[in-house]
Chains A and B, each alone.
Chain A
Amino acid sequence: MKMLAPWRTRRSEPGHRTGGGDTLSMFRSRMNELFDEMFQESPAKELFFAGDDWTRAEGPSFEVSESDEELRVKAELPGIDEKDVEVTVENGMLLVKGEKRSERDEKRRRYHVSEVSYGSFERSIPLPAGADVDAAKASFDKGVLTLVLPKRQVAESSAKRIPLSKG
């Protein structure tokens, strides 16, 4: 299945990330390997992992988990104000937009380490069928955004059996 709208992010102000980033990239690629192993046979992988696209994702880290009752999306957004985060749902896509404002006052500060990224980001995630957008709840705590979308009970007979006639 080819993703129409894969994970994507956009940064308006790249390049603040120096030093230490390598460790995280290493960690990310190792995590990707682990998840590749874990989801090798899972249809969920095709739904959420858009080929290599997601491995290139920069910006905030997301986590999507699913139970029978709900879909849970969490995003690490440290240092981002609640008012600078926007969550919308359109055409079955969940869109999380935000901006981490920099308060860098270059004149007074002498930087020795600068790894934290600032700027805006945008991320879209395809929602599975049955996710109840109207009952979605969002909360923001300690720099972590949590979205909970309950699942509507989808009729189990959505897959129609076609009878075979002998002939």
Chain B
Amino acid sequence: MSENVITGTAKGDVTREDDLPVFIPYADVYETPDSLWIRCDLPGVSEDDLEITLEKKVLTLSGRQMNQGRVGAEPVAAEYRTGIYQRSFSLNRDVDEGSVKARLRNGVLDLEIPKSPEAKPRRIPISGA
């Protein structure tokens, strides 16, 4: 079984979209017997500004971080900029596309992607001789 169940597609350098910089957010990806989980840091992104799609086993999330309250203020030091978070994950397990659950809390997105019954580990009963 391949270790590399899910591959995040890093886009390399920062690109631009609608004149906004596009960032790759940090993620944790793990697997439980029933599901694949993606946990992603998306600080400053609200539910309305987040889009998650799953197509041909590629899950893509795209979130826009809106800049608020900076009118007339001069940046003095900045280690982050506002822009678009974007990342794709190719899933190479069979998943139940219809029952993906997403929860956004405190700037962290949790995605639960249930495996299809075929992809779950199966217990094989042993019958006595």
Q: B-contacting residues of A (Cβ < 8 Å)? A: 17, 19-20, 23-24, 26-28, 30-31, 35, 44, 47-49, 54, 57, 61-68, 70, 72, 76-81, 108-117, 142-144, 146
For B107, what are the chain A residues with a Cβ–Cβ distance below 8 Å? 76-79, 142-144
The listed residue with most A CB atoms (<10 A of its CB), out of B13, B43, B77, B107, is B77
A-B contact count (CB 8 A): 138
Contact of B78 among A26, A63, A110 (CB under 8 A): A63
Contact of A142 among B5, B44, B72, B79 (CB under 8 A): B44
- State the CA gap A57–B29 with chains docked (Å): 25
- State the CA gap A79–B25 with chains docked (Å): 13
Additional 12 contacts, C-beta under 8 A, given A23-B12, A80-B106, A113-B30: A27-B23, A28-B79, A44-B76, A54-B77, A64-B76, A76-B41, A78-B41, A109-B32, A111-B29, A111-B31, A112-B30, A115-B27
Contact A27 B14 (CB under 8 A): yes
Q: Give the distance to chain A from B94, nearest Cβ to Cβ, in Å.
A: 16
| B26, closest chain A residue (CB) | A115
Q: Give the distance to chain A from B118, nearest Cβ to Cβ, in Å.
A: 18
Contact of A144 among B10, B32, B44, B76 (CB under 8 A): B44
Asked whether any CB of chain A lies closer than 8 Å to the CB of B122, the reply is: no
Asked whether any CB of chain A lies closer than 8 Å to the CB of B16, the reply is: no
- State the CA gap A19–B69 with chains docked (Å): 33
Contact A72 B73 (CB under 8 A): yes
